Amino acid sequence: MATKTNASTAVPLRFPAPIGGVAGTSFKPEHLAAILEAGRQRGFFEVHAENYMGAGGPPHRALEAIRRDHPLSLHGVCMSIGGPQPLDKAHLARFRSLVARYQPALVSEHLAWSTHETSFFNDLLPLPYTEATLRCVCDHIDEVQEAIRRPILLENPSTYVAFRGSTMSETDFIRGVAQRTGCGLLLDVNNVFVSAANHGFSALDYLADFPLSHVAEIHLAGHAEQADDDGALLLIDSHDGPVADAVWTLFEIVIGRRGPVPTLIEWDSKIPDWPVLQAEAAAAQVILDRGASSTLPADRHAA
């Protein structure tokens, strides 16, 4: 075994070429047999990195089988990039090993935090948008990108509360992160819709202000409806059903402006049979293909 002298040397620099405007799905182990039976297909699969951080066993066998024929997107959920404390070095090392082992086409993480002091809360928790938190998030992204030797895509959150201490908008904050760190962005259109409904802003205004030229992946997912203390609609980012019509409309608008980018159907609980998930991806692919033929080149980088 080669001895590792620092965080970067163990990771080969090569990684797959961009995959273009294809639709993919979350990979769920219960779909493995159906996916393998169908053979190589257009599209890609996304996995939560943490589910593949065990030493061995069936999870790695399944991921190897999927990766053999399809591009992979590695989606980190627990790096706690948005938290004030230093990143967990052991977790970063595990993340780096997965990137080196599976050479994913896309690597992403969240603008959120999940660990505080020694407790892991298993949720994507929100942060205030200030110059101090911006510096901290940028330092964390620099550290991740240095470790894996490639840019990550940072995902915009869905939120249920706001912070009195915030001094800038979410879009300004995200633009600042992309500009300072060189990271790409994962635009979760459902998260935009959920946050817009919860905070009472216009999703279209948010998208108009979002730095679309940095977007290298899109997420689409289902959400659930609740009510807050004042009886106002409160949307929950539940990932447990089909993509809502309004979110499809926003997606078409984004593709019309940005041009086609890899787009994921995220479905993480109440998981349907494989053909249902596949049909959602096919619906996204239709919009992506239409976008490929109709987008004016001048518009593509206008954002």
Partner 1 sequence: MPLEQNQAFATAFARGLLDPTRPAPPDVTGRDGRSAGRRYDVYRNNVTVSLIEALAAIYPAVQRITGPDFFRAMARCHIRKSLPTSPLLFDYGRDFPAFIESYEHARELPWLADVARIERGWLDAYHARDAAPLSPAQLAAVAPDRLADLVFMPHPAAGIVRSHFSAVTIFAANRDTAPVERIDGSTPEDALITRAEFDVTVRHLPPGGAIFAASLMSGRPLGEAAASALDAAPDFDLASNIAGLIEAGAFTSIAFGDAG
Distance between CA 253 and CA 263 in Å, rounded? 14
Residue 127 binds to partner 1 (criterion: CB under 8 A) = yes
Q: Which of 198, 263, 278, 285 binds partner 1 (CB under 8 A)?
A: 198
Residue 206 binds to partner 1 (criterion: CB under 8 A) = no
Only one of the segments 112-120, 171-179, 183-191, 243-251 lies at the binding site for partner 1 (rule: CB under 8 A); that segment is 112-120
Spell out where 49-143 has E strands.
72-75, 106-110, 113-116, 119-125
Distance between CA 176 and CA 182 in Å, rounded? 10
Residue 28 binds to partner 1 (criterion: CB under 8 A) = no
Cβ atoms of 244 and 197 within 8 Å: the answer is no
Only one of the segments 19-27, 39-47, 125-133, 176-184 lies at the binding site for partner 1 (rule: CB under 8 A); that segment is 125-133
Distance between CA 19 and CA 262 in Å, rounded? 7
Distance between CA 286 and CA 288 in Å, rounded? 5
Q: Please state the closest distance from residue 40 (CB atom) to partner 1, in A.
A: 23
Residue 30 binds to partner 1 (criterion: CB under 8 A) = no
Nearest Cα neighbor of 162 from 189, 188, 131, 200 is 200
Binding string, 236-265, against partner 1, x = CB under 8 A? x-----------------------------
Q: Which of 3, 5, 40, 117 binds partner 1 (CB under 8 A)?
A: 117
**Residue-by-residue DSSP string for 172-194:** HHHHHHHHHH--EEEEEHHHHHH
Helix (H, G, I), strand (E, B) or coil at 209: helix
Residue 232 binds to partner 1 (criterion: CB under 8 A) = yes
Q: Which of 7, 10, 32, 162 binds partner 1 (CB under 8 A)?
A: 162
Residues that bind partner 1 (CB under 8 A): 50, 53-61, 77-78, 80, 83-85, 88, 91, 113-123, 125-128, 130-133, 136, 160-165, 198-200, 226-230, 232, 234, 236
